[in-house]
Amino acid sequence: MELGVCYYPEHWPKETWRPDAVRMKALGLSWVRIGEFAWSRLEPRPGVLDFEWLAEAIDTLGAAGLKVVIGTPTATPPKWLLERYPDIYGVDAQGRRRGFGSRRHYSFNSPSYWRESERIVTLLAERFGAHPAVAAWQTDNEYGCHDTVRSYGEHDLREFRAWLKRRYTTVEALNVAWWNVFWSMEVNSFDEVELPNLTVTEANPSQVLDFYRFSSDAVVAYNKMQAEIIRRYSPGRLITHNAMGFFGDYDHFKLAHDLDAITWDNYPLGMLEESPLPDALKAHFLRVGHPDLISFNHDLYRGVKRAPFWVMEQQPGQVNWASSNPLPAPGAVKLWSHQAFAHGAAVVSYFRWRAANGAQELMHAGLNLHDGSPDRASQEARAVADELAGLTPAASQQAPVALLFDYENLWATNLQRHAKAWDYWAIELSYYLALRAFGLDVDIIHPRMDLKGYRLVVAPALHLVDEALATHLEDYVAAGGLLAVGPRSGFKQPSNIVWAPAPGPLSRLMGVRIDHVDALRPGISGSVTLGGADFHYQTWADLLSPTTAEVLATYQTPAYAGVAAITRQRHGQGACVTIGPWGNPALHLAIFSDLLSQTGLPHDLLPDGVRLTRRGGLTYLFNFNPHQAEVAEEAIPPHSVVIRAGVDG
């Protein structure tokens, strides 16, 4: 468990580098990320390279005992490069070229940009790959930020057609897979396929889903290209990329496959402000963020590679990019740092060393103020470093519960919401919140990953399924596992064509048939009876027709009163529970209380805003409330954490 910081030597006079490095070390930092936006300084003009300053910076940092992460500078190609190769620019869904003047002004499908990216990454890796202070690399920066995964230009179209040809071989197969007979959308050659933007009304969802897959694959391939170059010239160094919170435009499981570790950028206050949470929660957690929004991402990125992750950028104070940007509470930076470690982080790296004096992020705080003097976060980082010294967690263990997350299900359900409030992230979070309220540690993993060892596996919306996945889940249950699947599960094939009837190959495991769903407008709720008590749900309800399953709960909603709402089907040594409605929090607590009781896992309900996390023998109790909390006979001050060794609360 180490700390780090993001540093931009190119922003500051050379004479400050050494004192900066010394102070970093003194604060207890071990890692420094540099270089990821510096292309215009590394190659100021066509063919004119200037790597000397970077070499000096690395030397300086290394001399102070710091380990360096080099970021490849491909998120910000310089203007002269765009002048030479204007095909690099991406095109937005409205058909407009997205111009120069900020960052990420490139399409992943531009051949020029692939070639230029290979060139600059190769030059950097050749030059610095073997430097003793260089201990890790970051490819590019925040792939997809500002809606840049999907681009709608001519290169994108050409590559999309090529991708489709690889996927379907014949155009007849594509027409079948997309059900193109509908509305005469059939094409006679791959060259007749268009991008799914600017259609008269919604495009074919099968086409859109494939376009999302194609766009995700382009990111993965581009990243793999960078990673392979670096691996060739810089063996033994960790290669990573910094992902973002609640960002799903590409498949992070696939991206992570080509990396040594995944990292992500944790901005709790901006994340809360831009979230769909109600105003009352935004007010309550104003200055520390919502604990589960944050840890959902920790648990997801830990799950993406089933390995320790990093927080590559940790909010150190006020950010600049949310619609409103409050000051964090005193102690918030410390709270966030320990929370990351508790959820499995190997490194927490603050963004940034010193606040920028100009340009887009001048109102973003750093560990130091604009004038270079220490900001509050310096003290908190120092305190974290001190506390880490006393904590040595054992190797992380698998959590008792797995929450299944699949980017393809995110894409497929969110592009056909059917109910205005449907959102895959939101239903995933609603299950996660219930589990976390009961103090459970949760692994967020892909449905096709190995499920052995989990006492409970839950899938809020296991939408796209095939025979192989059904068999995989049956194996888990047959061996004694408890699987709970939520609304919209088993509805479609991977092509986005429905299973008729639903839930297709999951029928054996779920023991139900689903012919009808209800999709409710915001403000409308339905009711369900579970264990003799009444509960409410909203947005979505699958109506279950049990074939072999037993009924655990029934709907009371007049239009379908008496229909099964929750069922259980025994299978081998285990069981599968099907949850039809998207419950409100009370219903979810009731459901998960039942499920957890079946597993025998302890699950005492925690006070609101209090969270419990375990890591390798350490137990963390977090209080995200602005008031003191009492839990397990422990008083936890506002906005703080209590860490116990060897105890399992």
Our finding on whether 49 is near a copy of itself (CB under 8 A) is no
Our finding on whether 178 is near a copy of itself (CB under 8 A) is yes
Q: Is residue 142 flagged as an active site residue? A: yes
Site string for a copy of itself, 557-576 (x = CB under 8 A): -xxx----------------
Rounded to 5 degrees, φ, ψ at 136 are -165, 160
Query: What's the CA gap between 211 and 218, in Å, rounded?
Result: 10
Judged by CB under 8 A, the stretch of 126-134, 217-225, 353-361, 399-407 that binds a copy of itself is 353-361
Query: What's the CA gap between 505 and 469, in Å, rounded?
Result: 9
Site string for a copy of itself, 366-405 (x = CB under 8 A): ---xxxxx-x------------------------------
Judged by CB under 8 A, the stretch of 140-148, 223-231, 243-251, 378-386 that binds a copy of itself is 140-148
Nearer to a copy of itself, 465 or 618 (CB): 465
Our finding on whether 498 is near a copy of itself (CB under 8 A) is yes
Our finding on whether 95 is near a copy of itself (CB under 8 A) is yes
Q: Please check whether residue 64 is in contact with residue 21, taking contact to mean a CB–CB distance below 8 angstroms.
A: yes
CB of 573 to a copy of itself, least distance (A): 32
* Number of shown-chain residues binding a copy of itself (CB under 8 A): 115
Burial of 426 (0-12, 13-18, 19+ CB in 10 A): middle
CB of 169 to a copy of itself, least distance (A): 19
Our finding on whether 520 is near a copy of itself (CB under 8 A) is yes
3-state secondary structure of 266: strand
Strand-pair partners of 345 = 309
| Structure-token match 């190659």, residue found | 43
Judged by CB under 8 A, the stretch of 475-483, 512-520, 572-580, 608-616 that binds a copy of itself is 512-520
Our finding on whether 60 is near a copy of itself (CB under 8 A) is no
Count Cβ neighbours within 10 Å for each residue of 294-317 and write b for 16 or more, e otherwise.
Answer: bbbbbbbbbbbbeebbbbbbbbbb
Give the count of alpha carbons within 13 A of 160, CB side only: 25
Residues near 412 by beta carbon (within 8 Å), at least 6 away in sequence: 205, 209, 463, 464, 492, 496
Nearer to a copy of itself, 100 or 246 (CB): 100
Among 7, 108, 179, 622, indicate the residue that binds a copy of itself (CB under 8 A).
179
Closest CA to 31 of 312, 375, 245: 312
> Rule CB under 8 A: which of 272-311 touch a copy of itself?
273, 279, 282-283, 286-287
Give the type of residue at 630.
E
CB of 44 to a copy of itself, least distance (A): 7
> Rule CB under 8 A: which of 18-37 touch a copy of itself?
37
10 Å Cβ neighbour count for 444? 22
3-state secondary structure of 492: strand
Closest CA to 239 of 260, 221, 224, 225: 260
CB of 333 to a copy of itself, least distance (A): 13
Q: Strand pairing of 550-555 and 525-530?
A: antiparallel
| Structure-token match 């409710």, residue found | 520
Nearer to a copy of itself, 187 or 478 (CB): 187
Q: Please check whether residue 580 is in contact with residue 544, taking contact to mean a CB–CB distance below 8 angstroms.
A: yes
Nearer to a copy of itself, 15 or 323 (CB): 323
Q: Which of 36, 43, 116, 142 is catalytic?
A: 142
Q: Please check whether residue 465 is in contact with residue 490, taking contact to mean a CB–CB distance below 8 angstroms.
A: yes
Alpha carbon separation from 261 to 11, 256, 430, 590 (Å, rounded): 28, 7, 28, 37
Counting every residue written for the chain, the total comes to 649
Among 232, 452, 521, 570, indicate the residue that binds a copy of itself (CB under 8 A).
521
> Rule CB under 8 A: which of 311-330 touch a copy of itself?
317-318, 320, 323-330
Q: Is the dihedral of CA 94, 95, 96, 102 positive or negative?
A: positive
Query: What's the CA gap between 204 and 174, in Å, rounded?
Result: 12
Nearer to a copy of itself, 4 or 78 (CB): 78
Our finding on whether 546 is near a copy of itself (CB under 8 A) is no
CB of 54 to a copy of itself, least distance (A): 13
Nearer to a copy of itself, 546 or 616 (CB): 546
Q: Is residue 52 flagged as an active site residue? A: no
Judged by CB under 8 A, the stretch of 159-167, 189-197, 469-477, 612-620 that binds a copy of itself is 189-197
CB of 40 to a copy of itself, least distance (A): 4
Our finding on whether 97 is near a copy of itself (CB under 8 A) is yes
CB of 206 to a copy of itself, least distance (A): 6
> Rule CB under 8 A: which of 61-90 touch a copy of itself?
73, 76-80, 83, 90
Our finding on whether 47 is near a copy of itself (CB under 8 A) is no
Query: What's the CA gap between 85 and 485, in Å, rounded?
Result: 49
Per DSSP, 202 falls in state P
CB of 124 to a copy of itself, least distance (A): 14
> Rule CB under 8 A: which of 416-435 touch a copy of itself?
416, 418-421
Among 109, 139, 180, 295, indicate the residue that binds a copy of itself (CB under 8 A).
180
Q: Cis omega before residue 503 (within 30°)?
A: yes
10 Å Cβ neighbour count for 96? 11
CB of 529 to a copy of itself, least distance (A): 19
Burial of 468 (0-12, 13-18, 19+ CB in 10 A): exposed
Our finding on whether 500 is near a copy of itself (CB under 8 A) is yes
Angle made by CA atoms 150, 151, 154, in degrees to the nearest 5: 145
Our finding on whether 107 is near a copy of itself (CB under 8 A) is no
Our finding on whether 501 is near a copy of itself (CB under 8 A) is yes
Nearer to a copy of itself, 443 or 518 (CB): 518
Our finding on whether 466 is near a copy of itself (CB under 8 A) is no
What is the Rg, in whole angstroms, of the alpha carbon atoms belonging to the chain? 25
Our finding on whether 148 is near a copy of itself (CB under 8 A) is yes
10 Å Cβ neighbour count for 607? 13
Query: What's the CA gap between 603 and 624, in Å, rounded?
Result: 20
CB of 530 to a copy of itself, least distance (A): 21
Site string for a copy of itself, 193-222 (x = CB under 8 A): -x-xxxxxxxxxxxx---------------
What residues are annotated to the active site? 142, 313
